[in-house]
Structure 1
């Protein structure tokens, strides 16, 4: 069993707990000679870190990344890349009562059941969103690989918080536009409404969910392995492994169920000497294989499970009790989830790119 590892040729293992000494990842399979920019890794981690705005948890972590192996003189060496971030602002006392009860909609009970009562109850342990640091760091390595090989560009953003949905041009949106707003929604009007809704939820001791959309440009045609390792299936697996995810769709997604084939089918044409599709209802993937168009996908996140309102639950002995969360928590995980969504998409694409290099006819 390898529940903490992901990928086939570009393989990533994350390690560490929320309140342990450090978290991080080991990336195995990255080819030698890929230009490596530590500042770009740090930039991606900064987009995930806590305390970055008034909308996020105020845990103060710099999330400074260290390279322990696999990089020399500015390029990857082909050996395992180890990246580590030390935890510096844990407040384990805020969680001391959790060792004796199960928080509603958290992983407390299920981890207790799986591991025979052995679990790290401080901040959620491995189920904490701090585990995503390893994913984001590894995704930053994949980003540099894919940019070097194909010029791949990945832009994730908050599309929706609760019932507030942004109007965003998938074809032109940039990461710079996304980063102009603390919500990471590049629609200024929707962003202001999202801020108000998130702040109200915090005042109410409650939380909100929403949708992250991600656009990937310059993906070459041909990535994806039939039948069970379709690119669509790999993306769904990767993105649904993120904490708090509850839905995944690509292209028209569930909306395709209401369309006719005459509307949904993407007609082929020749543009600039290449086979292209006139529309992109498929979201850049057909038959489980990339077709060269932009990959467009969306991930739904539930409301953050940790809320400050009082809730009924039970102790580890089955006794009814009331739980009211203490400490520092996100009233909405969406703004910080964008970096993790991008990371998982990049890890999938890097893995499939290596598989394609290994199997394509020379």
Structure 2
């Protein structure tokens, strides 16, 4: 009988406790009485000191926690861990692949030296191919750094044959494998770059084969991301965010003077092009699986950290502008971003 009473009374007591909280727990409106900013401020603390509040320079979790509130990336993830736009409203991902005309390989029983014939053959393939462009033969001279105990710049002259630029609708890591069924087995692997270059640095002719593929790579996979940027976004100082800030952030990461720990994430980028004020094109040197996710990193304000701004700050501090870098800037303790919160220490 006692157990029955307990089982009946216990839920009633719990319900009564929960019900009474309805009458004394303050509402949001009541909570902000006397302090209207209470719902607009975010106060955080960490067990370690946030040393550098700059998303391209910091390497500690304490700094990253604050940076996530102050800076925005082009993208982030939603509650389902799916990518969504942040400073970017949308994006397009595709691929540009390159290869040289190789008349030594027979296509359907005959060797084809006419690039237009190869182009038509490629365009006849349904599916992922969007466009095929013929790049005329090119010639010139270039230098290649030969690594080793005694690195040396080797100068070579090249005379490249016709080249094809194939634009794909989607990234396809197996494109060249599939195209061998169309152009013939070994069409790409049997292209010999060494036949089209000449060593100009005397005494190093034996190194020609080692660097030939760097001068004229038989094939290239260049994934492309085009970001459409959100208009009207402003940094905390009122300056509008645009494509120039994206380009500046990338270049700042790759600048060896800044010693950014993010360099390896962006090393696969071949180049970043500003198409217009609110659109950027990122082209990669090769297939790189984490490429898209790296753009979740916070974007920097170019107007506060460019070379002119660094020079002014260095001179104001009485330091040598040539040796002064982003790591020495006061910005790292007084960050300005586009994020939801303004930093105050």
Report the TM-score, using the length of structure 2 for normalisation: 0.29
The structure having more radius of gyration, on CA atoms, is 2
